[in-house]
Structures are given as structure tokens and as C-alpha cells.
Structure 1
Amino acid sequence: ERMLGDKAHVPEEEYYIPFGRARVAREGDAMTLVSFGRPVNFCLEAAEKLAQDGVEVEVLDMRTIRPLDIDSIIASVKKTNKVLVVDQSWPFASIASEVVTQICERCFDWLDAPPARLNTEDVPTPYAKQLEYNYLPNPERIYDRVKGLLNA
């Protein structure tokens, strides 16, 4: 429902999206941002702002979460050595927590810092537009979190 007003390019010719394969939405080497659905757009907006600061982050659009393309995540983590998983759900028992677990299990030795998550705030879902904006992952929260993680 929240994506009804979003716009995106749709090719006129026939095309397919490979099921279970992530897309590198933006190349970078400072940190990997892993996301799916609407938050991918927020990650890309934050990546643009970070680039203005000279920070190039890689953005992975998972496109599907089951099957999860863990190989693409591992390849990106091996390149950047840092990862932030952005998920539009509560933090407890979220998709982000499973992705972080798999990263720890499969490529721990490649990490220069603990993998991080950015979820919705762990509070009841608000319905006022401004409260909802602050509750959900948004470009500003992603930008601030990346800057904080890189400066830690």
C-alpha cells in the first residue's frame, strides 16, 4: 500500500527477473547495505547522500528472501567487510536477524565490524503520517546509521 505512489522504470520489451538472485543496485566499497522491497529505494537515496560525502556504499536488492541469495551477500561482504541489513519489520525475529545470523555463520572472518541491522522502531505501529515516517526505515535513518558505523 505504501508503494502505490512510487514510480519506477518498467521496460517496454519483455523481460524477466531471475528468481532467487539479488541485484547489485549500486556498486560501492565502504559498506554493504542489504535490503528488499520498499527500503531498497531508501537505501539508494541514502547512498546518494553518502556519495556526496565521499562514501560509496554497495546496495543489494535481494528481490526475494526465500530463497535468499546468500552468495551475493557473501561476495559483497568480502568486498566491503561491513554490512547493514535494512528491514521494514520489527527487530525481534525479523528477516534482518536471519540475514545477520547467516552472515555471521558463513563469512565472519571477512567482517571488520559486527554486522548491523536497521529495522522499524520496536513500538506499536503509528498511523499518523509523520510518526509513521520516523517509525520506518527512511533515508535519513540509514544515512545516520551508516555514518555512525563507519566512524565507530
Structure 2
Amino acid sequence: MKFLKFAFFLILPFFAFCQDTSKLNVDAQYISLYLKNKNGNAYWKEMSEMPAGDFKCQEKDNGNLMVIFNKNEPPFEFINNTINYKEEIRKIPNDICGFKFKGFYYMESQPVDLVYAFYYSSKMPNSLVMVKYMGFEQVIFGANYYSDKKVNPLKEANYKFDLK
């Protein structure tokens, strides 16, 4: 019996460590957009300061995200819909340059087939990658990188998305 208690106390911290229960709370002053140029080549734009105030993203208790893109607009609620995309989760990267997949989200005011994948990094708590999918044939509509630092690790790693 003592051995079971001892084993339980040894294993418990391992499970607690493996679970990421921290909520997103991002406050970023810089943005980098992933775009296509005139020749159709995709590239990361240089990091630039957010033109109308900081980008903010806070996770609510229900798992939804409240996002403020700038101070002139009201916050937008991104509704967590990860549970409905079990098949799609296997088709997308779970890690992008150290940023881990957080979930799939949608906005009620946008088309039903526009879905956002959010990626976060515990090492860079004020940085976030947002990838927009149109439909789910893995058609990437765009990507944004937000951070409190003027450095984009995805651009430095020359990370490419397959924009359509």
C-alpha cells in the first residue's frame, strides 16, 4: 500500500506538468502578415507596429477567445469549435516553429467555412500565430503573427504556408 501511495505521488506531478491549463492572455504591439506578392509568391511581411493600438487576445473560462484587433473596434469573440474538427486536426501541423496548436475557432459574423487555427508558445507568452482556413481542404486563406517583440521567428525560419 505504501508503494502505491509513493508511486501515485511520483506520477501526479508528471500528469500535472503534461497538462497545459494556462489560458491565453496575449498583448502584442507588432504584427507580421503572410501574403502573396504580384508574382504569386507567398512571404512574411516585416514586423510592423499595430497602427491603432495593441492586439489583445484573452481566453475565457468557456474556451472562447476575446480578441481586440485595435482600440477603435469592439472586441470580437472567437468561438472554440475544436471538438467538431477531429479529422482536420490530424491534417494540420500541431507545431509551427515552437508554437503549439491551441484550437479551431470561428466568428458568428463570418462565413461558416472560414475557420481560424490559433497557435501559442509558452516560451513567448505575448506571441500568437493565427491561420485562416477557407473550407477544410486545407486551403489557407492567410496567416498573421502577433508579438510584443519586433522579431518574427516564422520569417527567420523561412516557414511557408501553402496559400491559395
Q: Same fold (TM over 0.5)?
A: no
Q: TM-score, normalised by structure 1?
A: 0.27
Q: TM-score, normalised by structure 2?
A: 0.26
Tell me which structure has the larger Cα radius of gyration.
2
Q: Which has the higher helix share?
A: 1
